[in-house]
Amino acid sequence: MPYTYEYPRPAVTVDCILFGFDDGELKVLLIQRASDPFKGLWAFPGGFLDMEDPTIEFAAKRELEEETGLKEVFMEQLYTFGDVGRDPRGRTVSVAYYALVKLSDYLLQAGSDADQAHWFNISQVPALAFDHAKILQMALERLKGKVRYQPIGFELLPQKFTLSELQHLYETVLEKPLDKRNFRKKILKMNLLKPLEEMQAGVAHRAARLYQFDKQRYEELKSRGFNFEI
């Protein structure tokens, strides 16, 4: 059954830029397009907003789950892209969301061959469909801006991590080296890390202590307007 309107309407879609962090590299999930336009090129998971979706974010989460199986992720609206000509099929407005996930072997496996989904290192992203290169650029800028004043980096790390791993994540997202002493001082001063009794595994000598992110403490500090700037 066709739908009729007095004035023309653009299509409304959602796109989801999903970041992960593994083996010291920031990664993004892309899906190879099986059909035209841009057949064979890579694109973000996404799809149309359904009239029944209660919110746009709901649509973004639904699409992400459909294409990756992922349910509980940190997600925020990034920006809305709607330049004329960005989709050769017709005017399309896309509301983009970025999401962060803790990468596990299972997830890396899932995004390896089946249904064309693949995790790419940020430095090795292939040719992207539509205006997705521009969208990726903006998502990386947002991530960079965010980690500086909101501890969202923890969404990308495993539950337990060393201070070196944490610093390396920040350095990777910010694309610059950080002074080790200064970084540790600032991070520990925030009181967001719970030191564990456990030490790093698989290291014979000088194994480093493992830490956990204290989410409850974070929520408490946030509600008091605490400044988390790194």
Token output for 13: 């879609």
Binding characters for its own copies, 97-126, by CB under 8 A (x = yes): ------------------------------
The tokens describing 80, both together, are: 């809305």
| Residue the block writes with tokens 């909101």 | 150
Nearer of residues 80 and 109 to its own copies, judged by Cβ:
80
Note whether 202 binds its own copies by CB under 8 A.
Answer: no
Q: Indicate the residue among 21 and 183 with the shorter CB distance to its own copies.
A: 183
Return the structure tokens found at 148.
């500086």
Query: Which of 36, 37, 80, 198 touches its own copies (CB under 8 A)?
Result: 80
Of the listed pieces 19-27, 53-61, 160-168, 183-191, which binds its own copies according to CB under 8 A?
Answer: 53-61
By CB under 8 A, name the one of 34, 35, 54, 105 that touches its own copies.
54
Q: Give whichever of 58 and 120 is closer to its own copies, judged by the CB atom.
A: 58
Query: What does the buried/exposed string (b/e) look like for 101-125 if buried means 16 or more CB atoms within 10 Å of the residue's CB?
Result: bbbeeebeebbeeeeebbbbebeee
Residues 19-48 that bind its own copies (CB under 8 A): 48
Q: Distance (Å, rounded) from C-alpha 95 to C-alpha 153?
A: 23
- Under the binding rule (CB under 8 A), the answer on residue 221 touching its own copies is no
Provide the b/e sequence for 135-166 (b: ≥16 CB within 10 Å): bbebbbebbeebbeeebbbbbbbeebbbbebb
| Sequence-ordered list of residues with C-beta below 8 angstroms from that of 186, at least 6 positions apart, any chain | 230
Name the residues that contact its own copies, by CB under 8 A: 2-12, 48-49, 51-56, 77, 79-80, 82-84, 91, 93, 95
